Amino acid sequence: MISAIILAAGMSTRMGRPKQLLKIGNSTLIRIVTENVLLSNIDELIVVTGYQQKKVTAAIDDLPVRVVFNQGYKDGQGTSLSLGIRSISSCANAFMIFMVDQPMISASLINMIIGEYQNRDCAVLRPVYNGIPGHPVIFNKSLEEELKNLDGDEGARQVLKRLADRVEYIEAPDEAVIFDIDTPKDFNEFIARLD
């Protein structure tokens, strides 16, 4: 069983407004990312909310996901990562970490990463594009205890640095794994790609 965790609790300070709720056509960023993950071969999906929790939850409340609220979202990404990992099913043998600001991650890309993970004996599998590491990252359940006690200062980037000797890589077919929406400029670039 593979669990997925979408980190959607941040305050989007560089964006200047909650990026989870950015309008994209008739949808929102959180809904698009959630729907893409649900179309893949994952077995359960946990969405960690925080900032603007009620509005973010309302955007996906009709989808088959488990929403968990991180009361300590202001303390940093590590608190959301920890809560998400503590919320996965005890039956899970791996978990994938997704960022809410990566709407170009498709179900087929997720399935490619899952398939490659299942063919390897590794602790962590991370996609790269042109030598640049990206997301989503899949972790073996054996790392659950180590990761579920993270504090606010240690987010995904720091965890991956600490686990560097246990990370294997897979070349992604496109830049979706490294494209994220952090600023209004990033958002405008993404919208321009859709036209």
Give the chain's domains with CATH numbers. 2-194 (3.90.550.10)
pLDDT of residue 91: 93
Please say if the pLDDT value at position 185 is more than 80: yes
**Per-residue pLDDT tens for 39-56?**
999 999 999 999 999 999
β-bridge mates for residue 46, sequence order:
5, 66
pLDDT at 146: 77
What pLDDT is recorded for position 47? 98
1-34 pLDDT, tens digit per residue, is 999 999 999 888 888 788 999 999 999 999 999 9
Using DSSP, state whether 27 is helix, strand or coil: strand
The pLDDT assigned to 177 comes to 96
Strand runs (DSSP E) across 18-147, as ranges? 23-24, 27-28, 44-49, 66-69, 94-99, 124-129, 132-133, 137-140
